[in-house]
Amino acid sequence: MTGFGDIMAKVGLLIAWGVLMGAILNEMGAISKLVDKLLHVFGPKGVPYALGLTIGTLLQSIFLDVLLVMSAPLARRIAPKLGKFGTAKMATAMAISLECGIVLMVPGVAAVALAGLLRVPLGEMLIFGLLVIIPTILVSIFIMNFFIQRGLWKTETDEEQAVAESPELEDVDGMVVHTVSHEHGHEHGEPSHGKTSQHAVVQGGGAERTATSSRVGLLPHDVREPGTGASKEPGLLLMFAPMLVSLVLIASGAFMKMAGFTPDAAVFLSTPVVALLIGLLGTSIVARMTIGTKRVEAAVVNGFKESGQILILTGAGGSLAAMVATSGMGEILGKYFSASTVAPLLVVWGIAAVLHIAVGSVSISAITAAGLLAPIAPALGINPVLLALAAGAGSLFVVHVTSNTFWLLQSMLGQTTRGTLKSCTLGVSVASVVALGFILVLSIFI
């Protein structure tokens, strides 16, 4: 299967690095700490936006399902502080940012795969993805909150009353089967992250732990909430620094390429595989100094377990896409596209949207759409980064009952299926259209 190999060659290592980095960050309790911080800094009104932006941009190295399972309890905890529609707002913000992030933001799995298939340099994808995703998340959450407050959301029918958290998703489709086992593993491994950080305190540690804690203890946030036990965790900036460094490296590589200034060393460092590896190494060093080698090793094992499934799925998507391309489908569609007067970006978006409604997985439909388009992309005469983004945005349209994310959001945030149709399906579709709008705006400039 050359398709399988092709896509693995482009994104295999990147996905593995990303997932491992995410697993370690997760083990450090980075997510719960971050959310606490956000609530403190932005207050209840700004939190949906802040959380959305953070999930959509900063946390994309963490595999979507894991991210959701980890951050959902925090979102639920925040929700009551936002007033009557708290759950609705948080659920919408999470759905939008999770789904947007995975297709539009490097190192989100689908975004990396899209860039690989359409031969977009990862740095370019990162920069333009950021340009699109930030306004998209803000505007879509704003639109959704506007409607939620004006009668879209009915608490009685859209939220589970007194939900017992139900991790077993037995009546959902096959799409979820693999996720369920994976999620179970996680529920056993880390029962709610607040507790994990308390364990960390109990486990004790060497001198460096004490050193870290005293420094972190200076943060006003920890002074305010001394009971969380978070004071023993490393500082937020320190935890995320290695990952930020690698993202900056990738982005600066792209800038240098545009400027035509490419010294060898810089090119090497900004190669995505190298840059993410640096981030991964940095993250593990920070983690080792703070949570101990044992837990880092456990996290890495977990990370490898998760990445196996993602890699196989991505590769399988790639082989289907390659088969579709060699079967001649690409040329046929290309013939119609180049003949059509409709704006090609709209068509790309549409194909991804149709595929997504049929296939039901955001990553797979984005990858398949890109696979269909890859052979004809040069003929269209558009910057491929726009095609990649448009395919990503289209694949967000109507996330519904065939999506495992849909069911995770439903059960983890205590919504009814009806409610999830509003917060997740409608919310993410709004984001899909908004993103298309911003991509079209972007296409004026590049």
Partner 1 sequence: MEDWQILSITAAVIIGIVVMILRLRINPALALVIGAMVLGLLTGLGTV
Task: By CB under 8 A, name the binding residues for partner 1.
Answer: 1, 3-4, 173-175, 177-178, 309, 312-313, 315-317, 319-320, 322-324, 326-329, 332, 355, 358-361, 364, 402
Least CB distance to partner 1 at residue 358 (A) = 6
Can you tell me the distance from the alpha carbon of 79 to that of 81, in angstroms, rounded to the nearest whole number? Answer: 5
Can you tell me the distance from the alpha carbon of 231 to that of 233, in angstroms, rounded to the nearest whole number? Answer: 5
| First-to-final CA distance of the chain | 35
Least CB distance to partner 1 at residue 315 (A) = 8
The residue (of 1 and 218) whose beta carbon lies closer to partner 1 is 1
Least CB distance to partner 1 at residue 320 (A) = 4
Closest-CA residue to 88 (of 160, 167, 156, 145): 145
Query: Which residues have C-beta within 8 Å of that of residue 240, sequence separation ≥ 6?
Result: 25, 30, 58
The residue (of 155 and 327) whose beta carbon lies closer to partner 1 is 327
Can you tell me the distance from the alpha carbon of 144 to that of 196, in angstroms, rounded to the nearest whole number? Answer: 34
Can you tell me the distance from the alpha carbon of 221 to that of 40, in angstroms, rounded to the nearest whole number? Answer: 7
Q: What angle do CA 89, 90, 91 make, to 5 degrees?
A: 95
The residue (of 252 and 309) whose beta carbon lies closer to partner 1 is 309
The residue (of 265 and 339) whose beta carbon lies closer to partner 1 is 339
The residue (of 329 and 398) whose beta carbon lies closer to partner 1 is 329
Long-range residue pairs from 75-80, CB within 8 A, at least 24 positions apart, any chain = 75/35, 75/51, 75/413, 76/412, 76/413, 76/414, 78/35, 78/39, 78/44, 78/47, 78/51
Can you tell me the distance from the alpha carbon of 416 to that of 163, in angstroms, rounded to the nearest whole number? Answer: 10
Least CB distance to partner 1 at residue 370 (A) = 15
Q: Would you say 432 and 393 are in contact if contact means Cβ atoms under 8 Å apart?
A: yes
Least CB distance to partner 1 at residue 180 (A) = 12
Least CB distance to partner 1 at residue 95 (A) = 21
The residue (of 283 and 314) whose beta carbon lies closer to partner 1 is 314
The residue (of 232 and 356) whose beta carbon lies closer to partner 1 is 356
Can you tell me the distance from the alpha carbon of 76 to that of 73, in angstroms, rounded to the nearest whole number? Answer: 5
Least CB distance to partner 1 at residue 313 (A) = 5
The residue (of 293 and 338) whose beta carbon lies closer to partner 1 is 338
Least CB distance to partner 1 at residue 64 (A) = 14
The residue (of 308 and 378) whose beta carbon lies closer to partner 1 is 308
**Which residue type, as a one-letter code, is found at position 389?**
L
Distance of CA 310 to the CA centre of its chain: 13
Least CB distance to partner 1 at residue 324 (A) = 6
Can you tell me the distance from the alpha carbon of 105 to that of 186, in angstroms, rounded to the nearest whole number? Answer: 24
Cβ atoms < 10 Å from Cβ of 54: 19
Can you tell me the distance from the alpha carbon of 254 to that of 263, in angstroms, rounded to the nearest whole number? Answer: 13
